[in-house]
Structure 1
Amino acid sequence: MAGGSLIRAGVSALLVLSPALGTTATADDGGDGNAGALVREAQRNVLDATSLRLTLTDRAAAGKSAEVASMDLTLDRDGNCVGSFRMGRGGGSFDVVKRGDEVWMKADRAYWRSQLHDQGNKAADVVRDRYVHGTTNEGTFKDFAHACDLKALQKELSLNTSSDDSMRTDGRTKIHGVDVIRLRGTEDGVPTTLYITTDSPHRLVEAVQKGDGTDDTAGVSDYGKPVPSRTPAPGDSVDLSDLEKESGRTG
């Protein structure tokens, strides 16, 4: 079962996609203020956030069962998170809740089959419509400790500021009901569009990359909004060790 590593892959894809999260841009003034200053402020607001909601749609991964096609993850600096993930074709989907060192993961039958192959149906029969519950001290769930830690992700971002690709402002528009400034340019040779809030504090709302086999949309929202604290009830969960025993897996 690879839920934690898949979350990590999905978050990493989102961060690579969003230049304003991890790069510094030198930019021209397209009439809506200096684009470089907007990008730097948007980056700073991501690095300073105590919690964030991150979304990703990777259309290029839609046909690949082993890759994350979409995700919606809220996480904070204390390592708490709540999210949902959909894999590419035939890979199923799963939800995750992490609070402290406890993890709950709920997946559909297609996910179990794609991850456990011959044992997948048996695992799905054991779990039924329940969460698998464990801790980040257990092998299968160890990856969740880092994948759900916003502080760790921000540290990685702060070290990734070597890009000299330029962005240029390209007018104003509205996206998801928010007034934004649109910036266009390239990142690693791929056409990239950023949407940053018109009003201060300037925050990244969405980043889009399309071209050369890439077709991704990433969103950032809920800056500083607490991660939901509700966790699944004991009756809605099955212990990870019990699942591994009953499905014939160990470790």
Structure 2
Amino acid sequence: QLMDKLEHPNLLLMTPSTPKVPLEEAVQRLRQHLREEPFLSLAEWESLLPEAKGHLSIGIEAARRLQESLSLTSPENRWRVVWFWHAETLTRQAANALLKTVEEPPARTLFIFLSTRAGALPVTLRSRCQTWHFPPLSKEKLEALTGTSLSAAQFSLSQGSYGRLKRLLSLSLEKPVQALQAWLRSLLNTSMDPAPAIEELLKVPQLSELLIMGAILIRDHPHLTLAHKAIGMDALLRAAEDIEGNLHPALVLWETTLTVRARWAQPKFQWEWLAP
């Protein structure tokens, strides 16, 4: 029962936070929200920490306090589990400080680095870990979780992620999709000014989800070559990942615009987008 509540004394939960929120308070808040919503996303967690403002991380101070805790002998010599929730938010200083501990862990200690972007973890840390990949959820499982019958488009846009599907279902998509389509057209037609579309996109709460939707629209477009699709999808997925990693959305969108325009310079196509 204590483990179900994430309150077991031998479970050390490491959570992205901000110096403005004491670590103990952040952990307690995360426990409460994970009990209510096991599929809590990093973006949702950030919205629940108004003090964060895009600066969530697991920093060097948290790493040092963890090492102090691990230096104490576990009661009754039981196993201890250290769970890094969204481990991609580890700062480089914190990751470097943990290398020796991870390489030579205390007796009966298990480290779990849970991440949606494992590539963001330092190679030196990843090389000391065994990797387990969790496959995307099936359409049937997603329908059971949401209690909703999903269309093929909805399932495709979710990419098998319950958290992503939940956010997509909660979005009012008409205006965001129109802005997305206008922006995508401006990538091919360099005579179009992308600024108005970018301005509208910056108003979307879940911009990274919308960019993933854009990558899928590019993938399914009937008049693009494979080369164009590869360039466009890669750029939009990278942009979505950068925004999830707390990079400045406006800078990410403008960099993506300039990069894709340069690589899509020829030939130009007439784009006719349909909302999903």
Q: TM-score range by the shorter chain?
A: under 0.3
More strand per residue: 1
Computing the radius of gyration from Cα coordinates, the structure with the larger value is 2
More helix per residue: 2
Structure scoring higher RCO (CA < 8 A, sep ≥ 6) equals 1
Tell me the TM-score normalized by structure 1: 0.26
